[in-house]
Amino acid sequence: MSHQDFELYATQRPHIRDVSDVYRRFFSKHLGKLSADARVLDFGCGHGIYYSFFSEYFNQANIYGVEVSVKRVAYCKSIGWENVHYLPILSPLPFTNEMFDVVHCDQVIEHIPKKEIGFYIKELHRVLKKDGKMVFITPNYPIKRLYDIYNAISKRDITRVKDDPTHVARYDFKRLVNVFQPDFSVILEPTGGRFWNRLPYNFFSHKIIGLVQKRQEGVE
């Protein structure tokens, strides 16, 4: 997507919603014991829905965000989030090496072309501390399409059958592992969904939550 496309997307899809209970449980389980002084980067922070959530765990001065939409950056600043930066496409992150304890990335990687994802993974690896972790959420393809059909029928809205045209990269569990290795060790969990929300790690999950830890050079 071009810069203009992202600005249009920001207008058409504001994504102002509550943080899901599924994510809250996942974060509490894996990252809830971090110090309040830990530094957090929200990569692709959108309209800043996670800012107040992260404020429950960390000092607000240590919560940073980057976003490719000028409109979304302005909105985040309007709600009091000071450490938000506009990040042009394929630009290095404006942070020093090993600055962050945690990177968060909610439904961003599916918007990044596969030929560009390696650049961003290297950058995220660079700014994470030696024991740093990244948590991300992404739709589980092709299963996500079944949920699109279900929503179209249940909500009587045929337009929901159409896939999101901004999803230029589609991931399942295996593809995600391949993308993040060898730079990170990987833990993946399903988020469930309306049909299979009580099953363990499974093919039918609507979305995938991933937790990856920075892998050190020479360490398997």
Question: Looking at the domain assignment, is residue 220 inside a domain?
Answer: no
Question: Looking at the domain assignment, is residue 219 inside a domain?
Answer: no
Question: Looking at the domain assignment, is residue 129 inside a domain?
Answer: yes
Q: Judge contact between 68 and 89, C-beta under 8 A.
A: yes
Question: Looking at the domain assignment, is residue 98 inside a domain?
Answer: yes
> What is the domain range of residue 198?
3-214
pLDDT at residue number 123: 98
pLDDT at residue number 1: 52
Q: Judge contact between 7 and 71, C-beta under 8 A.
A: yes
- Separation of alpha carbons 87 and 93, rounded Å: 7
- The CATH number of the domain holding residue 62 is 3.40.50.150
Please name every residue paired with 210 in a beta bridge, in sequence order, or none if there are none: 136, 188
Tabulate helix, strand, coil % of the chain (nearest 5): 35, 20, 40
- Separation of alpha carbons 207 and 22, rounded Å: 11
pLDDT at residue number 18: 86
Question: Looking at the domain assignment, is residue 52 inside a domain?
Answer: yes
DSSP per residue over 135-178, as a string?
A: EEEEEBTTHHHHHHHHHHHHTT-GGGGSPPTT--S-B-HHHHHH
The residue whose two tokens read 């398997």 is 220
pLDDT at residue number 166: 81
Question: Looking at the domain assignment, is residue 179 inside a domain?
Answer: yes
- The total number of structural domains in the chain stands at 1
Q: What is the pLDDT of residues 47-87, one digit of tens each?
A: 999 999 999 999 999 999 999 999 999 999 999 999 999 99
Question: Looking at the domain assignment, is residue 96 inside a domain?
Answer: yes
Residue ranges in the chain modelled with pLDDT below 50: 3-4, 193-201
